Amino acid sequence: MTRDELFDSLGRAFGDKLQHTTEFRGETTRMIAASDLRDIAKYCRDELSFDYLLDITSIDNFGEEPRFEIVYHLYSMLHAAHLRLKLKLSEEIGALDTVSDIWPTANWHEREIYDMMGIKFNGHPDLRRILMWDGYPYFPLRKDFPLAGLPSEMPDVAFTKVTPLEGGPFVTVPSTAGSKDREPRARPPEL
């Protein structure tokens, strides 16, 4: 089956449930409704051989509604084809159905999205924080999370002294300013 035949088959199977299609550099993105995710994901795996879930990413469009976008990056090893399934999620709903039973690798991706963005996955077998400690009350990758962070009770076992925010060369630039002022989002755009 060619790449075009794969996507034609998907279009015939789901018709209007595929809301929008984008092609870029040989990769196809299909916009879908959150309620259709599981049916389309199963079809992609079982009928179209999209056997590899590369990643699940989340986007916070703070100030817009629906606020979140979730993108499933799929790959078919048999057909050497990429497919993205993209959906929008309202902050009020804040939950999707898990696909960890369809692609087991989704387990960690969904946990990370929950931990960093606060989006829950219904039916997930072990939805708990993966990077932040249990009981941490915030979601650090949301755009409304302040650059300087928020005060919280850090467990004594985690650190014995204050840890700087400095990261690699892609996070901050050398300066005498504090970490939060060197972070790229804090700097005014250059003219």
Per-residue model confidence (pLDDT) at position 174: 60
Per-residue model confidence (pLDDT) at position 6: 86
Q: Which two tokens stand for residue 154?
A: 């850090």
Per-residue model confidence (pLDDT) at position 9: 92
Query: What is the rounded distance in angstroms from the CA atom of residue 150 to the CA atom of residue 124?
Result: 28
Domains defined for the chain, CATH in brackets:
3-146 (3.30.460.80)
Per-residue model confidence (pLDDT) at position 162: 52
Cβ neighbors of 40 (< 8 A, separation 6 or more) are 10, 14, 17, 18, 30, 32, 85
Per-residue model confidence (pLDDT) at position 169: 44
Per-residue model confidence (pLDDT) at position 66: 94
Per-residue model confidence (pLDDT) at position 168: 45
CB-based contact 153:132 (threshold 8 Å): no
H/E run at residue 84: strand 81-89
Bridge partners of 18, per DSSP, are 32
Q: What is the pLDDT along the chain (191 residues), one digit of tens a residue?
A: 788 888 899 999 999 999 999 998 878 999 999 999 999 999 999 999 999 999 999 999 999 999 999 999 999 999 999 999 999 999 988 899 999 999 999 999 999 999 999 999 999 999 999 888 888 788 989 998 877 766 666 555 454 555 454 444 444 556 677 766 666 555 566 65
User: Which residue do the tokens 């997930």 mark?
Assistant: 124
Cβ neighbors of 74 (< 8 A, separation 6 or more) are 44, 50, 52, 53, 54, 82, 83, 84, 85
Crossing angle of helices 37-46 and 3-14, rounded to 10°: 140
